[in-house]
């Protein structure tokens, strides 16, 4: 079984599409755990409708607003599946995402995998750019650029439960992928845009200065000294700016 972890905060505009993209998967042996982080809009009500109509959907309500890392960790702790997949409440999957990705995981005895990504704007209008996935991604490549969108990732649950996600002052998913590849060498890619990633203007990565600071914090948290963390951040930021340009101009 695959446990799908979806943190949600004030996601009433997008969460219905996100959940439906999970429920419409061709691979049906999954549970969807939605962690409502004290939303003040209709998020909880929307999720409760799905809970009442599909037993695979579970809702956990945080007692206090805790952020995305704590919310994901809550989902991870409650996951029953052998594999964990992540989907943010504003992103969507193609209907064969889990099926194709699980095939790659099983056939390679993989610890971590990811898919290529397509992109839409905040209103759902698609861009032409596709961020491709490599057949095998190692740590050297990952330190240059993060090819692994969190909403495209699938990881063995027993490994994920030993790492968890750190605080929201860094790119918490990037921290996890670096940690995993240090020990397990490769992440396996499915080079099809099975993730539809929504570019929100208020996302953490949309503020370049804030994002660079979080990337620096990530490198430092995984053990790189201040100078090397700064140099890695400069290289990462250059790749990130280039990617955003291609998304907007392809």
Q: Where are the domains of the chain?
A: 2-202
Say how far apart CA 188 and CA 115 lie, in whole Å: 9
Q: What is the pLDDT of residue 80?
A: 98
Q: What is the pLDDT of residue 244?
A: 87
Say how far apart CA 142 and CA 165 lie, in whole Å: 18
Q: What is the pLDDT of residue 88?
A: 98
Say if strands 57-61 and 30-36 run parallel, antiparallel, or are unpaired: parallel
Q: What is the pLDDT of residue 206?
A: 54
Q: Classify burial at 95, counting beta carbons within 10 Å of its beta carbon; exposed 0-12, middle 13-18, buried 19 or more.
A: middle
Residues of the chain with pLDDT under 50: none
Helix ranges, the chain (H): 15-23, 43-53, 68-78, 97-107, 139-144, 157-163, 172-184, 208-221, 226-249
Q: What is the pTM of this model?
A: 0.94
Q: What is the pLDDT of residue 168?
A: 82
Fold topology of 2-202: Spore Coat Polysaccharide Biosynthesis Protein SpsA; Chain A (3.90.550)
- Please choose, from the candidates 77, 67, 58, 55, the residue with its C-alpha nearest in 3D space to the C-alpha of residue 160: 77
Q: 195 - beta bridge partners?
A: 93, 117
Q: What is the pLDDT of residue 204?
A: 52
Q: What is the pLDDT of residue 200?
A: 81
Contact between 3 and 30 (Cβ < 8 Å): yes
């Amino acid at each position: 079984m695959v446990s799908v972890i979806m943190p949600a905060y004030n996601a009433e505009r997008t969460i219905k599409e996100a959940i439906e993209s999970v429920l419409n998967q061709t691979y049906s042996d999954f549970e969807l755990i939605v962690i409502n982080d004290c939303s003040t809009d209709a998020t909880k009500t929307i999720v409760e409708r799905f809970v009442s109509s599909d037993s695979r959907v579970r809702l956990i309500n945080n007692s206090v607003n805790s952020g995305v890392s704590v919310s994901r960790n809550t989902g991870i702790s409650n996951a029953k599946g052998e594999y964990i997949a992540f989907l943010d409440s504003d992103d969507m999957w193609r209907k064969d995402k889990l099926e194709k990705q699980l095939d790659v995981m099983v056939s390679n005895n993989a610890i971590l995998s990811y898919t290529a990504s397509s992109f839409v704007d905040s209103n759902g209008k698609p861009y032409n750019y596709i961020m491709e996935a490599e057949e095998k991604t190692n740590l050297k490549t990952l330190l240059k650029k993060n090819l692994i969108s969190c909403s495209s990732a699938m990881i063995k649950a027993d490994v994920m439960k030993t790492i968890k996600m750190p605080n929201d002052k860094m790119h918490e998913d990037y921290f996890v992928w670096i940690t995993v590849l240090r020990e397990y060498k490769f992440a396996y890619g499915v080079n099809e845009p099975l993730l539809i990633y929504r570019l929100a203007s208020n996302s953490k990565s949309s503020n370049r200065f804030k994002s660079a600071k979080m990337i620096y914090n990530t490198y430092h948290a995984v053990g790189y000294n201040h100078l090397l963390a700064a140099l890695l951040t400069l290289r990462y930021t250059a790749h990130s700016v280039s990617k955003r340009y291609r998304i907007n101009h392809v």
